[in-house]
Structure formats: C-alpha cells, structure tokens
C-alpha cells in the first residue's frame, strides 16, 4: 500500500489517538524502543484519558515499560513543548481530524493509520489482553514498514 511505503525518516514524530491512553502511548514507546534518541517521539490524545492497565501489561510482555505514561492532549503538548513535529501519525478518526485542523497553522505531515481500539473487546481477561497484543503487534509492523529498522550505528 502506497501510504505505508518507507519514506524519509522524520526527526520528530507525534502519535495521536482519542484519549492518549492505549494506542498512541504504545506506538510511541515502540518507536522509541526501536530508534532510541535518533527520533524524537511524543504522543497525545484529543481528550485526556487514564492509562489503560491492559496496555501496560501488553507492553510489559515485550520488555517495554509505559506504566509511568501520563496521558496528555494536543493542547498540552503544544503548551509544554510546541507542536514541532515533522510527522503526526493518527490512529483514530477524531485524532486524524484534530491533526488536520492543526496543520492549517503547523507544518507537519499527517498520516492516518486506522487502528482497532481494543478497549471495546469483551470476554475473559486473556481474550481482552489478546486484543491488546494483536494491536501492539500491528503497530510494530506498521512502524517497521514506515520507518525501517535502526542501523548505521544508531540505536
């Protein structure tokens, strides 16, 4: 698919979803794990939610700790550090609309990666956790497709 072809690697990436409680913090942590400090990574939501314990558990399984993540909104990011991102990757329709609004006054590329919200899955704890694992793995695959793999001495 053309939208996932590898392009030049941005220097600063913001992942965004509805509440900054599941998908965007997971995606940000995955990109950070792959590229370390060679790419500045942030995450935000349209609204501020509460970090989801299933997201924390799914990430812990692969050795990534997001337990200290504090959900923030686009406005929080703009107030704290400015929206100085080359790329905003949106993971939900509301985040995509918000990012497109922001690009009227901020120069950033916006990519939409439709991603299933695992918080709506019903069932046993294991069935629910499986939905988070699947979403985590899908995000990792998309990140690798879009950004490539670290190399040339960068961690």
Band (6; pLDDT cuts 50, 70, 90): very low
Note the pLDDT of residue 3.
43
In words, the CATH class of domain 11-143 is: alpha beta
Query: CA angle at residue 50 from 35 to 20, to 5 degrees?
Result: 40
Q: Could you tell me the residue ranges of all domains in the chain?
A: 11-143
Confidence of residue 151 (pLDDT cuts 50, 70, 90): low
* pLDDT of residue 5 exceeding 90: no
Q: What pLDDT is recorded for position 102?
A: 86
How far is it, in rounded angstroms, from Cα 19 to Cα 114?
A: 15
Q: In what order do the strands lie in the sheet with 87-90?
A: 40-45, 12-17, 87-90, 109-112
């Amino acid at each position: 698919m053309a939208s996932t072809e590898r392009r030049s690697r941005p220097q600063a990436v913001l992942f965004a979803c509805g509440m900054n409680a599941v998908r965007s913090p997971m995606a940000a942590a995955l990109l950070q794990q792959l590229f370390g400090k060679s790419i500045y990574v942030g995450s935000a939501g349209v609204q501020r939610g509460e970090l989801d314990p299933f997201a924390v558990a799914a990430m812990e399984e692969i050795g990534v700790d997001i337990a200290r993540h504090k959900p923030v909104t686009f406005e929080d990011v703009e107030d704290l550090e400015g929206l100085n991102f080359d790329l905003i990757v949106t993971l939900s329709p509301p985040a995509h609309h918000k990012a497109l609004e922001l690009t009227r006054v901020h120069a950033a590329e916006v990519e939409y990666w439709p991603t299933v919200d695992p918080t709506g899955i019903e069932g046993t704890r294991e069935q629910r956790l499986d939905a988070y694992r699947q979403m985590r793995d899908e995000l990792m695959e998309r990140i690798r497709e879009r950004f490539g793999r670290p190399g040339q001495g960068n961690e």
